[in-house]
Chains A and B, each alone.
Chain A
Amino acid sequence: MKFTWFNLMPWPYLPDDFREKNRSVWVDIDQALFDPEKSHEVYNTYMDLLEYAGTVGFDGIGVNEHHQNGYGIMPSPNIISAGLARRTKDTALVVLGNSIALYNPPVRVAEEFAMLDCISGGRLVAGFPVGTSMDTNYCYGQIPSLTREKYQEAHDLIIKAWTERKPFAFNGRYTKLRYVNIWPRPIQQPHPPIHIPGGGSVETYDFCIDNTYSYSYLSFSGYIRAQALMKGYWDRVAERGAPDTSPYRAGFAQTICVAESDEEAERLYSEHVLYFYNRCLHVYAGFADAPGYRTIKTIQSGALSQYAPPRAGYASLTWKDLIDGGHVIAGSPETVRQRMEDLIKSLHVGNIFCLMHVGNMPKEKCMYSTKLFAEKVLPKLRDMFPDYADDNRFWCKPLAQQVSAGRLPSDRDAAAAVSRVLA
């Protein structure tokens, strides 16, 4: 199993009456709610927490890309990852990911991911999302019904830029480049492992299967509601005659909170979980799914956009609803272990993106929950798929010898070395 500690980086200061006074947490969220000075501490705390998670036993630490979004103040995950690369060792940097249709030209992604891979010593796991409709269409202006074509072209360009050893010309519809010749290129060969976040479209299933990419379902509605979608994926894996059904072909995001007991979990985390589900997911329905963004096939499959609010709205959900419905896995280490085991088996997933910082959770509680999961839950789940223990196709392959930050000599030693050269 591979466990990645994930932080969406929510803005923790959305007011109590946020839902009543605002139509959306995303796209046209009120500028007045963001306080740049407060963000200084928020960003640094969130990066500290990611670094902390890298020291307690998680396989990776994860970041993602959102724009104009109150629950994700991370328009550039690469900036965050660059900071993390310098302050962590061994842990994978899971950037899930860069919305490749939004970068102009997309070789920018090939370059920045290569830089991250080089700086981190081959610890990058690269994600290529299409991006949500809010991000891609409404914030970044991509034409909905052309987004996927542009995404596909960007993907082809990036892979070629990573693997071709001579300058080449790329005559795409959306990008035309006479000389593609990225410097640097990634350490991992032929390129870093690729994870593709998807929301149930058959085209994305096939894309992952055909290219040996891991399919990630990044849902906030939990593993019980994800059964149908993941079954669709595994059925497709069988249908397409993939050579194996390795669980590492799939990943799943799950909100997790651990305490000493179930009751303590509710007492500690309830307000933060409700903050997330009631305020952070308050997306105006008109932004959820620009017409043409999803393919006709996907709509016909009956999958509704996960950002389309449930009929009754999230506000009516209580802690109990969220626990019973599996949106959130919370409780004592034993409760969490049982439910995680259920999740892993029922979805057949080898990559878990653990959403352990939730809503406006303060750092102390987040550390407490993280530590309990790492020490009392994670070790018991570690070897759930012994048959696939050697499957390393979907994870990073770091250099055996890595350098770390802060290795300069003292000023005195430097001066002495210079003197020796001059002597």
Chain B
Amino acid sequence: MELKTIATHHVPVRYIEGGQGEPLVFLHSAGGITPADPFLNALAEKFHVYAPLVPGYGDSEECAEIRDMLDFTLHTWDVVGALGLKDPILVGHSMGGMIAAEMAAVCPREVSRLALIAPAGLWLDDHPVADVFTKLPYEMPALLFHDEAAGAARLTAGLKMDDPKFLQNYLVTNARQLGMAGRLLFPIPERGLSERLYRVTAKTVLVWGDSDKVVSPVYAHEFKRLIAGSQLVSIPEAGHAVPQEKTKETVAAIQRLS
């Protein structure tokens, strides 16, 4: 996978590209994504993958002008346009799923295939979505993964929290990335999507880990109810990080669209 840059109206956007096959746009979660991500690489074995980074993620430039849901939605359409893609398979995980769902609702004629992996964007009082902003690094593995120990090994590889310089860089990255994510997700990750999902006409696959502790699987049924004709693929022994935890199964679910 290769990290590249493309110009857009607001800022130059960094995106990861690789693989062959039908074009597929993958929108990452609030945790971000890197070219080494095993899920992205597995996806690239079946599709021609484009994974743009939200401005401020990785080494990409931040963007003060992208403030609200509509800004994110239109900006991501700008990215798809700049990449020269027409009706790519649109896939999003968590925050990326929220953006993908909005894109499909705002421009239903531009998206015929949509995969939402544990998307954010809805809110049920009885099943509050976890507050990821207050979580400390050591709390993340249990929150994100079904298999906490394996998740911890994956998340903490390379982290040197005792090194002040590392810690400062970590805080800067966190502020840049989650600062942008907060514009969609803080304090409650709901920006009116439920009132717009009726507009989605794409063939839609919903992918959910059975043990998701960030966005409870209850939300899978709510999305299913609100998007006509959508199919749900529930994956056992998987948490919110289902693409990383059950990579093969997640890719197979997305292949239902091709």
Are A299 and B182 closer than 8 Å at their CB atoms?
Answer: no
Question: Which residues of A lie under 8 Å from residue B187 when comparing CB positions?
Answer: 137-138, 141, 143
A294 with B134, Cβ < 8 A, contacts A141-B187, A143-B186, A146-B183 known: no
Which of B115-123, B166-174, B216-224 is found at the contact surface with chain A? B166-174
Are B171 and A145 closer than 8 Å at their CB atoms?
Answer: no
A213 interface residue per 8 A CB criterion? no
Are A291 and B135 closer than 8 Å at their CB atoms?
Answer: no
B63 to chain A, nearest CB (A): 11
Give B163-191 as 1s and 0s: 1 = Cβ < 8 Å from A's Cβ atoms.
00000100110111111111100111000
Are A286 and B135 closer than 8 Å at their CB atoms?
Answer: yes
Are A296 and B168 closer than 8 Å at their CB atoms?
Answer: no
A300 with B172, Cβ < 8 A, contacts A146-B67, A284-B134, A286-B134 known: yes
- Contact among B135, B176, B186 for A296, CB-based, below 8 A: B176
A394 interface residue per 8 A CB criterion? no
A292 with B136, Cβ < 8 A, contacts A141-B187, A299-B172, A299-B175 known: no
B165 to chain A, nearest CB (A): 10
A137 with B176, Cβ < 8 A, contacts A285-B136, A286-B134, A300-B168 known: no
- Contact among A149, A285, A294 for B175, CB-based, below 8 A: A294
Count residues of A near B (Cβ-Cβ below 8 Å).
21
A105 interface residue per 8 A CB criterion? no
A190 interface residue per 8 A CB criterion? no
Q: How far is the CA of A290 from the CA of B182 in the complex (A)?
A: 9
A143 with B134, Cβ < 8 A, contacts A291-B178, A296-B172 known: no
Count residues of B near A (Cβ-Cβ below 8 Å).
23
Are B171 and A299 closer than 8 Å at their CB atoms?
Answer: yes
- Contact among B134, B168, B183, B188 for A302, CB-based, below 8 A: B168
A144 interface residue per 8 A CB criterion? yes
A128 interface residue per 8 A CB criterion? no
CB contact list, B199-255 vs A, under 8 A: none
A287 interface residue per 8 A CB criterion? yes
CB contact list, A284-333 vs B, under 8 A: 284-287, 290-294, 296, 299-300, 302
- Contact among A143, A284, A287, A299 for B183, CB-based, below 8 A: A143
Question: Which residues of B lie under 8 Å from residue A292 when comparing CB positions?
Answer: 175, 178-180, 182
A23 to chain B, nearest CB (A): 10
Q: How far is the CA of A286 from the CA of B135 in the complex (A)?
A: 6
- Contact among A286, A299, A300 for B136, CB-based, below 8 A: A286
A220 to chain B, nearest CB (A): 21
Question: Which residues of A lie under 8 Å from residue B198 when comparing CB positions?
Answer: none
Question: Which residues of A lie under 8 Å from residue B186 when comparing CB positions?
Answer: 137, 141, 143-144, 290
Question: Which residues of B lie under 8 Å from residue A299 when comparing CB positions?
Answer: 168, 171-172, 175
Question: Which residues of A lie under 8 Å from residue B188 when comparing CB positions?
Answer: 141
B135 to chain A, nearest CB (A): 6
Question: Which residues of B lie under 8 Å from residue A143 when comparing CB positions?
Answer: 182-183, 186-187
Q: How far is the CA of A296 from the CA of B139 in the complex (A)?
A: 24
Which A residue sits closest to B178, measured CB to CB?
A291
Q: How far is the CA of A287 from the CA of B139 in the complex (A)?
A: 14
Which A residue sits closest to B67, measured CB to CB?
A146
Q: How far is the CA of A291 from the CA of B185 in the complex (A)?
A: 12
Question: Which residues of B lie under 8 Å from residue A144 when comparing CB positions?
Answer: 133, 179, 182, 186
Question: Which residues of A lie under 8 Å from residue B64 when comparing CB positions?
Answer: 149
Give A125-156 as 1s and 0s: 1 = Cβ < 8 Å from B's Cβ atoms.
00000000000011001011110010000000
A355 to chain B, nearest CB (A): 28
Q: How far is the CA of A296 from the CA of B56 in the complex (A)?
A: 11
Question: Which residues of B lie under 8 Å from residue A141 when comparing CB positions?
Answer: 186-188
CB contact list, B133-154 vs A, under 8 A: 133-136, 139
Question: Which residues of B lie under 8 Å from residue A296 when comparing CB positions?
Answer: 172, 175-176
Are A287 and B182 closer than 8 Å at their CB atoms?
Answer: no
Give B76-109 as 1s and 0s: 1 = Cβ < 8 Å from A's Cβ atoms.
0000000000000000000000000000000000
A326 to chain B, nearest CB (A): 22
14 contacts between A and B (CB under 8 A): A144-B179, A146-B67, A286-B133, A286-B134, A286-B136, A290-B182, A291-B178, A291-B182, A292-B175, A292-B178, A294-B175, A296-B175, A299-B168, A299-B171
Interface residues of B (CB under 8 A from A): 64, 67, 133-136, 139, 168, 171-172, 174-183, 186-188
Known: A138-B134, A141-B187, A299-B171. 4 other contacts (CB 8 A): A141-B188, A286-B135, A291-B178, A296-B175
Interface residues of A (CB under 8 A from B): 137-138, 141, 143-146, 149, 284-287, 290-294, 296, 299-300, 302
> Which 6 A-B pairs give the minimum distances between C-beta atoms?
A292-B179, A291-B178, A286-B134, A145-B179, A141-B187, A291-B174
